[in-house]
Structure 1
Amino acid sequence: MIIRTIAAALLLWIAGFMAFALFLPQPAADGITTDGIVVMTGGRGRVERGLAMLADKRAKRLLISGADRRVKPHELAAQFKADRKLIDCCVDLGHESVDTRSNAEEAAGWIARNRYRSIRLVTSDWHMVRGRYDLEAMTPDDLTIVADAVPTEPGLVDLVREYNKYLLRRIAGLIGI
């Protein structure tokens, strides 16, 4: 009985992992506009994608959640070759988060303060499922979240690690942690 239970759990994990790995979220469709953009830092291409969407007038403001405390707006503009005026007017640097869950907390506060009803969430394809799950848990049900995944080429170890983190977050959510 125990062996069958373990085998069934392992098969469920494998099936879930296969679906997770094979159906990574994609970039958002062209032309979609939202009130704001949230970039969860930590991977290549995320900030660039958020800034490009802001420059293309896909939203009014951009939050870069998890930005290093030492980063200044003029340095951000120089590093990403972005218009300094755009950075000064429309980019908020969030310095409070240290992980995905605190990224979501920081973003939820920013969304509430700005009274946004729709946001574009920018993060890596492999990170989008957990990032969106955490953000949805901390924001009103009527908030529209447009997933805008930055394509990557994650390795097997990265995918297994992220899938397990996602499963643990779901379990934590179910038991109220």
Structure 2
Amino acid sequence: MRRFLAGLAVVWFLGFLWFTIWLPGPLDAKTGDAAIVPTGAAGRIERGLELLDQGKVEALLVTGVDPEVKPGEFAAQFEVSEQQMECCVTLGSMAVDTRGNATETAEWVEGRKLKSVRLVTTDWHMRRARVELRRALPDDVAIRSDAVPSEPSLRILFLEYHKLLATWIFGLWRG
């Protein structure tokens, strides 16, 4: 039993090392049909809007927006034109967590019959967000990861690593 626990501790440590050292990075110039931006850490929404402005995506879903936030307030805060809000930006307010972001995204993608999305989230959140999104989307929808670089604390990395492990284990259990 001791050897098993020691082995488990080594696997945990090596996994945590991998998780913290090799965080995903920004995506190169590839495009997607739409950008998906879960609310949360700084820089996510700005990156999604930048992609929209540059024509790298045609639409943007910001998922997990507080239901009290009105489109006009969002537009004013992020300096988005009324025209761009009407044509290209959707504020989703049904999600309260990463799994909810994935569900909300899947419904939005299905309604628009999209074939590829660009997931924009913080580097430390990317792996778990991608796992949840992959589970929610049909297999024929491509997901491109576009991580926003950050300087996460050890606490954030520790918590997110364990959330990722739980997501994987729960996924195996759900089958």
Count of aligned pairs between the two proteins: 175
Secondary structure of 1:37's aligned partner = strand
Structure 1 gap ranges (5+)? none
The answer as to whether partners of 1:55 and 1:86 remain within 8 angstroms in 2 is no
Runs of at least 4 residues off by over 6 Å: none
TM-score, normalising length: structure 2: 0.97
User: 2:2: which partner in 1?
Assistant: 3
Is 1:134 aligned with 2:136? no
The CA deviation at 1:88 is 1.9
User: 1:153: which partner in 2?
Assistant: 151
TM-score, normalising length: structure 1: 0.96
The answer as to whether partners of 1:65 and 1:103 remain within 8 angstroms in 2 is yes
Root-mean-square deviation (CA), in Å? 1.0
Is 1:22 aligned with 2:21? yes
Distance in structure 2 (CA, Å) of the matches to 1:20 and 1:166 = 10
Secondary structure of 1:9's aligned partner = helix
The CA deviation at 1:83 is 2.2
The CA deviation at 1:85 is 1.4
Identity %: 45
Distance in structure 2 (CA, Å) of the matches to 1:27 and 1:82 = 22
Structure 2 gap ranges (5+)? none
The answer as to whether partners of 1:28 and 1:148 remain within 8 angstroms in 2 is yes
Correspondences of 1:69-148 after superposition (within 5 Å): 69-148=67-146
The CA deviation at 1:33 is 1.4
Distance in structure 1 (CA, Å) of the matches to 2:151 and 2:81 = 29
Letter in 2 for 1:59: V
Distance in structure 1 (CA, Å) of the matches to 2:81 and 2:19 = 37
Secondary structure of 1:93's aligned partner = strand
